Amino acid sequence: MIHGGASLPFDRILPAQLELTPDDDGVALSLEHPDLNRRLAHFPAAKMEAAQAVRARLVELLERRLPFTRSAAFTPPAGPASAPRQTTGAGTGLSADLPKAPGRLTPVQGWIIGAGAIFARANGHPVDRLGEVSGPLGALGRRKAVALLREGWGIPGGEDVDREVMSLITRGHREDFGFTARVAELSEGERARYARVLHALTDRGLADDPAARQRALADLIALRYGPQGLQVMGGVLRRAPETDPAVVELAETAMLGPLWDPEVDAAELEPHWARAREMVGAEFGDEGVGAFDAWRAAFTRDVIEVPGALELYVQLRIFLHQLADPDFPAEELGRLRLLEAAGPGAVTHDRHMAWDFGRALMLIRWGHMAGWIDADDAWMRMLPIAREIQSAYGSWTDMAAAYLEGRALWSGGADADQPVFEKAAAGLNADADGPWNRLPWDLPLEKDW
């Protein structure tokens, strides 16, 4: 498809991206694709059948090029789900024994939607379908989905959905909760010092005293991350001024995605290092390249080659970013109070999986509603995420409790929207036709569509 100076191969266009949108004079046929967003034709109201016929013919041409291939950037967790701790529901649990959802979802599709249903319902989305992608409702839903992804999550396109989903399912907020839980188990005096330093680091006056800020940051990191956190900070973060902060900032930005992958190895990083070096050279010249090489050598020695240091480095980067948020101290201290009250062992890596994984499912749904991910691709991306959720909990009730706990921890327990999510969970629990009451928790999650 060619329009002006832009061209778009047919095999990159989804049928759902061809929209018929009513207006005051009739109906417009538009292509709404991230790379080519244009009105193709306009039909008066009397020519509605002709407009539908033109769209149908274009869809027929597009479907000759299907199936679309999935993005290689997304590699979801694989393997069969392990047995849940307890089961709910009646019957055999086999998909063939269950009726389809009102929106014509298969039982497994309904289960997948149910796993992310609290987030969906709280945001006003149905829980009996993947999402509207055609007709006037589809156009409205697409605009809402794009706005939520771009403004709420900073996600401009489909590949960025993949990246955010991977971040949620590999790390999410679960690791943050774990480090705050570590602080909750310190002595009362150490917890009080943590609170003082946290507030001091957000005090504008400290910004004018770099040495005092550095000492306060070191104290905070020692309390939160222990001795290895200080080692990573001293080995890399404090080295930046000697190297040139601008060079390090550009290099770290270029390496951010690869370094966030906990499974990455040195060989896989090589092309990313080469790209980062090229970017630094283009921006800072030969002197910048020399600084980059020195920083890379130090980073490799002090972080990549030290067991556990790369994961800690990523967490430190997240934490430093959080410290720039003026709301963070209140949220963090609220988390600390919740965890102190809950006692040791309240946070495990899997306990609050539902909070991160439920949002990952909704991001994929929004990606579909935005026109960036085709329906079958969306289901196949969500299926392994749903299996992980099923393996971590014993019932819909257990999952819902963990989700709400996770959201409360994320907000520090003082968010005005928490009751909205609690109400959404209560509504799902009371809905006789909804997925939580219609589908057994131990339904075998195998593709049935």
Q: Per-residue pLDDT averaged across 297-321, rounded? A: 82
187 sits in which H/E element: none
Return the higher-pLDDT residue of 276 and 262: 276
Q: 199-244, pLDDT tens digit by residue?
A: 888 766 666 777 788 888 889 999 999 888 887 876 655 454 455 7
% the chain with pLDDT above 90: 33
CB atoms within 10 A of CB 392: 22
Got the DSSP string for 55-101? HHHHHHHHHTTPPPPPPTT-----SPPPPPSS--SSS---GGGSPPP
**How large is the C-alpha radius of gyration of the chain?**
25
Angle at 15 between CA 57 and CA 154, to 5 degrees: 155
Could you tell me the pTM of the whole model?
A: 0.69
User: The dihedral of CA 351, 353, 354, 355: what is its sign?
Assistant: positive
Q: Which pLDDT belongs to residue 205? A: 60
Q: What integer is the mean pLDDT of 404-432?
A: 91
Whether the bond between 67 and the residue before it is cis, its omega within 30 degrees of 0, is yes
Contact 201, 213 (CB under 8 A): yes
DSSP labels, 143-167:
HHHHHIIIIIH---SHHHHHHHHHH
Geometric angle at alpha carbon 361, from 356 and 413, rounded to 5° = 35
Helix H or strand E segment including 39: strand 36-44
Number of neighbouring beta carbons within 10 Å of residue 205: 9
What are the tens digits of pLDDT across the range 365-404?
999 999 899 999 999 999 999 999 999 999 999 999 999 9
Q: What is the mean pLDDT of residues 20-25?
A: 78
Q: Amino acid letter at 107?
A: P
* Per-position b or e across 416-447, b if 16+ CB within 10 A of its CB: eebeebbebbebbeebeebbbbbbbbbbbbee
3-state secondary structure of 209: coil
Classify 51 in phi/psi space as left (phi over 0), alpha (psi -120 to 50) or beta. alpha
**pLDDT of 84 over the 50 cut:** no
**What distance in Å separates the CA atoms of residue 324 and residue 320, rounded to the nearest whole number?**
7
Q: How far apart are CA 301 and CA 441, in angstroms?
A: 47
210 vs 138, more confident: 210
Residue 2: strand pairing partners: 7
Q: Decide: helix, strand or coil at residue 432.
A: coil
Average pLDDT, the chain: 80
- Structure token digits, residue 155: 């996600």
Give the span between the Cα atoms of 247 and 279, in whole angstroms: 10
Secondary structure class of 133 (helix, strand, coil): coil
Range list of H helices, 260-395: 266-299, 309-323, 328-342, 353-369, 375-392
Tokens of 348: 């495990």
- Extract the tokens encoding 303: 């972080």
Long-range contacts of 319-325 (CB under 8 A, 24+ apart): 319/179, 319/221, 319/224, 320/237, 323/201, 323/202
Asked if 177 contacts 347 with a C-beta cutoff of 8 angstroms, the reply is yes
85-115 pLDDT, tens digit per residue, is 332 332 334 454 555 555 579 999 999 999 9
pLDDT in tens, 116-137: 999 999 988 889 889 866 555 5
What CA–CA distance (Å, rounded) separates 155 from 140? 19
Residue 60, classified by CB atoms within 10 Å of its CB into exposed (0-12), middle (13-18) or buried (19+), is: exposed
